[in-house]
Structure 1
Amino acid sequence: MEKYIGKVVQLIYIDKKRNVTIRDVRVLAVKDGRVKAHCFSANAIRIFDISNIVDVEEVKRHVTA
């Protein structure tokens, strides 16, 4: 995940309630098995547990509303 720091990626993520979500985020930091990122859908900083990330793909062009 370190290679994505500063980049916008799309995550497929399973949260604590076992809900699957797809989110566009800007990765800010990676530490201790967690990713700190700005989540565009929540418009806030969020922490993602790497073990709950199903897939990650770099977004070549992110459009904000």
Structure 2
Amino acid sequence: MMEKYIGNVIEIIYIDREGKLTHRKIKLRGIRNKLIRATCLNTNQPRIFRMDNVLSWGPAKGAEMDAS
């Protein structure tokens, strides 16, 4: 279901490899093999997130979906 947001900004609550909870706003680039490719808008850096570690996600508040 997250795939329909590819190219758009979403917010995630994520547990990192050290076990810390983080709240991030990301631009979703793609999903493959349970890995999420994105640009983290908190750091403006490319990131890969494991879907298994995403605790919650949804469209970013105030962000419009890309029509393309």
My pick for the range that moved more, 16-25 or 53-62, is: 53-62
Offset at residue 60 of structure 1 (A): 4.1
Inter-partner Cα distance in structure 2 for 1:7 and 1:35:
13
Letter in 2 for 1:14: I
Inter-partner Cα distance in structure 2 for 1:28 and 1:9:
11
Instruction: Give ranges in structure 1 of 5+ residues lacking alignment.
Output: none
- The number of aligned residues is 62
Q: Which residue of 2 aligns with 1:3?
A: 4
Inter-partner Cα distance in structure 2 for 1:61 and 1:36:
22
Instruction: Give ranges in structure 2 of 5+ residues lacking alignment.
Output: 64-68
What is the TM-score normalised by the length of structure 2? 0.85
Question: C-alpha root-mean-square deviation of aligned residues, in Å?
Answer: 1.0
Moved over 3 A (4+): none
Q: Give the alignment of 1:1-65 within 5 angstroms.
A: 1-62=2-63
What is the TM-score normalised by the length of structure 1? 0.89
Inter-partner Cα distance in structure 2 for 1:28 and 1:22:
18
- Residue deviations 1:32-52 (CA, integer Å, cap 9, x gap): 001000101111100000000
